[in-house]
Chains A and B, each alone.
Chain A
Amino acid sequence: MSLNFDPSYALEFDFGRGQIRMANASERVIVPSDALLALCRGASEDAVRDFGRRLGTEAGRVMNDRLGEAWQASLETVLEHLGGELALMGLGSLGLERWGQALVLSFSHSPLGAEGDLLLGSILEGAMQRSFGRDTVAIKLMRDDQKVRFLLAGHAGARKAGNWLAEGVPWGDILSRLTTRGAS
């Protein structure tokens, strides 16, 4: 199992055929980010979620191929490899935060902006499903100019967090409440 993510020759540009391929993956198409956003704006929420999960599933599959046994990988290893695969897609820089027992993943410098948060969350959900076989819900806790944080929780925790977000509870308090009640 490789501990370090090596992006060398990750992308292969076949000019003769006019194709772009990733290592151990299928062909890729480079599309403008604004065109992708326009497509997401025109599509329904379910369609965007399905599209994002397919992207995350592909990233999780590649990560599993690299890591071999992903369920034994540490936090750093998963972050490095999953983040590397998403970076190759051009979706931004993946980050990992542990708030007690809560797992928070973040994207920085995403070209999609705030309009692409639903897509990013769906990608994470697909990657968790493909890599670790867990059904997760990515709840967007906060968003600023450069970073967006997602809480990976189950359906129960996601529902509560969603309610608290709707009530205006700060995302830090939400994590504290979830951790306290979960611990108790």
Chain B
Amino acid sequence: MNQEVNKLQELLARVQRNAALPRTLVSGRGLAHEAPAAFSPPPYVPPAAELTAEEMFFESEPPPPEPAIASQPTAIPAPPVVQPRATLDASVDELLLEDPFPSVPPPVPTYGDVLDDPMQSVPAGSARPLDHDEDVSGVVAISEFSDEQPEELLEDDIVEMTASEAAELPAVTNTLDELNFDDDEGDDKRAAPQSEEEPPASSSRSKIAGTMDEALARAAEQIELEEGREVPLKTPPPESGPQAAVAMPAGMHAPLSPDIEELLEADILPSAGVRAAVPTAEQLGQTIDLDEARGPSLELDQPVASPEPLHEELASEEAEITLPGRVFAGGYQENLMPPPEAREELDAHRQRQGDDSVPPPESLAQYPSHRPEAQPVGFAPVIVPASVTTDSYSESVSTVTVDAPPNAEFAPELLARPEVGPSPVAKFIRTEAPRPKTFMELLDSSLALGSD
């Protein structure tokens, strides 16, 4: 029996050296300063009566929260599960593999709690020596007595055990069953029913692998489980969640899903006005196919585009009927007879054209330099005065003087108005109205107006 206890103590010492000691803050501090190179016996946990006030207040502060735990993406947002205390019949491995990340962190002890239950604040790394004869459960109770959250196990925390050592563990477990480290019965009572009904959510970690292959296999399984697990969403709002469907009243129904064909037709048609004129798809289904036209086939040939001048196009645009161009511009028909009154002038013109000499320009003050020799019959020479003046007796009237030569054919005959001496054109007769001398007379005459 003593041998088993000794072996167990050895084993637990190794476990404690590798895993248990660095977990607590106090142990970290203490070991940092006085870390023994060799194995140090587990600290002795004195009974409550032996504790002093300084010891009780030594580790009253709660450990700092670990943000890494809170930000675990794989945390299951299931109903909060109270992290139960390790059962007494659990093995050492189970205790070591206990879920260090409980869903609900334990309550932070207050000052009053510390006073009421000083055992909870006993530091694990207390300098108080521990007798080896005492129960080795003190080593296990490091996490039990400490309210601090156990840290995540590192690789160093994993205990390497051989098969023989693993076989010995149940015996130790049985021994540990006899130990009672629970000093808080209330917690035990709360955790007991839940542990009996279903395993805690945080104790789902399997046992440690005996060999490396087994560990790798379990890690692979764990990875598969992690991949297959659906990542829960964040906490939904209170109003959301599954709700019972309420039957809609009669006559009301949810809007039907739009017909894709109708939507496509609506996209094709440009506007509502056009839609009214264009038959719908349903109407097209009732369309009667007409037979082909009976008759001579008509073939339309594309006319050959001929370049036309721009001015012709413009002329056709401006007038509906394009007038013909001037084919005989500058000419006339010779068979046309001149008017009788112009015949003589035309003969004279032709006769003048026969001469080589060109007549000089004439003015009103000169007779034509060229006189036709042939005198028309019926025209007698008119003797006109050598000088005709239109000067008026008034200087304001403009005058024109024409000196007609004696041989002029058509001399103008100008007649002058006889001179009239200046005389008054109009006569204004001023009538002298009787002007009233006084205002009174004018007023009386005005008052008399209109009276018969």
Contact = CB atoms under 8 A, between A and B. Distances in A.
Given A73-B438, A101-B449, A153-B449, 6 more contacts: A70-B440, A101-B442, A101-B448, A132-B440, A156-B451, A157-B448
Interface in A91-109: 98, 100-103
A74 B438 CA distance: 4
A72 B446 CA distance: 17
A33 interface: no
B449 to A, nearest CB: 4
A128 interface: yes
A85 to B, nearest CB: 14
Given A98-B442, A103-B442, A153 B447 contact: yes
Contacts of A132: 439-440, 443
A135 B147 CA distance: 129
Interface stretch (A20-28, A51-59, A158-166): A158-166
B438 A157 contact: no
Interface string B426-452: 000000010111111011111111111
Count chain B CB atoms within 10 A of each CB in A101, A136, A159 and give the residue with the most. Answer: A101
A182 interface: yes
Interface string A122-141: 00000010001010100000
Contact of B450 (A77, A78, A103, A161): A161
Q: Is the interface of A mostly helix, strand, loop or mixed?
A: helix
Contacts of B436: 75, 98
A78 B438 CA distance: 9
Count chain A CB atoms within 10 A of each CB in B439, B445, B448, B452 and give the residue with the most. Answer: B439
A181 interface: yes
A182 B440 CA distance: 18
A98 B446 CA distance: 9
A interface, size bucket: 20 to 34
Given A101-B445, A134-B444, A156 B450 contact: yes
Count chain A CB atoms within 10 A of each CB in B433, B443, B444, B452 and give the residue with the most. Answer: B443
A119 interface: no
Contact of B448 (A74, A98, A128, A154): A154
A134 B447 contact: yes
Interface in A62-82: 70-75, 77-79
Given A71-B438, A73-B439, A102 B451 contact: no
Contact of A103 (B433, B443, B452): B443
A164 B452 CA distance: 17
Contacts of B444: 134
A176 B433 CA distance: 14
Interface string A141-170: 000000000011110111111000000000
Contacts of B438: 71-75
Contacts of B451: 154, 156-157, 182
A12 B96 CA distance: 124
Contacts of A75: 436, 438-439, 442
